């Protein structure tokens, strides 16, 4: 029995081979152009949105930012926009897009996570499997605001880290959360909630650090009261 071998020289250079190589080249070129064009378009929309204080095509903008975050950041940086400004923009954009869904969820199915850095340096709170337990000592504003938020109907946790947040997700299954923290903490929390299918709203602290940071409590309530009777205008 004879075995026939395919001579590579009879394949390379044939019309169909040339067409295949040409097609691969075209596809590669289109992909490379898209990798550059999409981030450029996203960066331009971001800059326009920040300049005019108005979100243009917000849903497409968020999708584009998620898909091309690295390149978009580089282009925005080239035009003078700092990474922190872009992160803050992403959080505001996410909050805007999530407001309607958040309002539709009853307060009893929402949770608020407060970072431990908001407490006083000499805070006497002790750590438990469900986070820090506030002693209502009056040394900071955390205790009184936890009381008010719980009266509204929220579950409130003082979180020493993201591990507690994940554990409370698994135990209590909240459908929506308000996350308070620094820029990166809030951004990472939002991304974690998106993957888990939980509606998230972020409130960024106005002073960073590990101890005695600050948050605008009116900003927290602006978010927490969404969809509640207290937030509805008087008729």
Domain ranges of the chain: 9-81, 104-230
Q: How are strands ordered across the β-sheet holding 176-181?
A: 126-128, 131-133, 155-159, 110-115, 176-181, 199-204
Reported in sequence order, the residue ranges of 51-192 that DSSP labels E, i.e. its strands, are 110-115, 126-128, 131-133, 155-159, 176-181
Give residue 234's pLDDT.
44
Question: What pTM did the predictor assign?
Answer: 0.76
Tokens of 167: 């554990």
SS3 207: strand
Give residue 235's pLDDT.
43
Tokens of 96: 């805007």
Q: What is the pLDDT along the chain (235 residues), one digit of tens a residue?
A: 445 554 555 555 577 766 777 677 777 766 665 667 777 777 777 778 777 778 877 777 777 777 777 777 787 788 787 888 888 888 999 999 999 999 999 999 999 999 999 999 899 998 999 999 999 999 999 999 999 999 999 999 999 888 888 899 899 999 999 999 999 999 999 999 988 899 999 999 998 777 889 999 999 999 999 998 776 544 4
Give residue 40's pLDDT.
75
* Residue 115 to residue 235: CA distance in whole angstroms: 37
Give residue 232's pLDDT.
56
SS3 70: helix
Give residue 220's pLDDT.
96
Give residue 29's pLDDT.
66
Q: Which helix (H) or strand (E) holds 147?
A: helix 142-152
Residue 79 CB-density burial (10 A; 0-12 exposed, 13-18 middle, 19+ buried): exposed
């Amino acid at each position: 029995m004879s075995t026939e071998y395919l001579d590579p020289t009879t394949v390379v250079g044939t019309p169909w081979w040339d067409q295949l190589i040409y097609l691969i080249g075209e596809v590669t070129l289109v992909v490379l152009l898209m990798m550059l064009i999409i981030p450029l378009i996203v960066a331009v929309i971001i800059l326009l949105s920040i300049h005019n204080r108005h979100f243009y095509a917000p849903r497409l903008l968020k999708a584009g930012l998620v898909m091309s975050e690295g390149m978009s950041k580089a282009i925005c940086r080239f035009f003078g926009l700092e990474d922190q400004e872009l992160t803050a923009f992403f959080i505001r954009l996410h909050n805007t897009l999530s407001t309607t869904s958040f309002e539709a969820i009853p307060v009893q199915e929402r949770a608020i996570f407060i970072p431990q850095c908001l407490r006083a340096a000499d805070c006497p709170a002790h750590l438990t499997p469900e986070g820090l337990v506030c002693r209502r000592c009056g040394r900071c504003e955390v205790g009184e605001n936890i009381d008010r938020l719980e009266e509204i109907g929220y579950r409130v946790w003082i979180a020493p880290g993201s591990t507690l947040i994940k554990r409370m997700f698994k135990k209590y299954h909240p459908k929506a959360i308000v996350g308070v923290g620094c820029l990166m903490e809030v951004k990472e929390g939002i991304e974690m909630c998106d993957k888990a299918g939980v509606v998230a709203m972020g409130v960024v602290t106005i002073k960073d650090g590990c101890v005695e940071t600050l948050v605008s409590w009116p900003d927290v309530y602006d978010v927490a009261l969404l969809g509640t009777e207290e937030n509805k205008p008087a008729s």
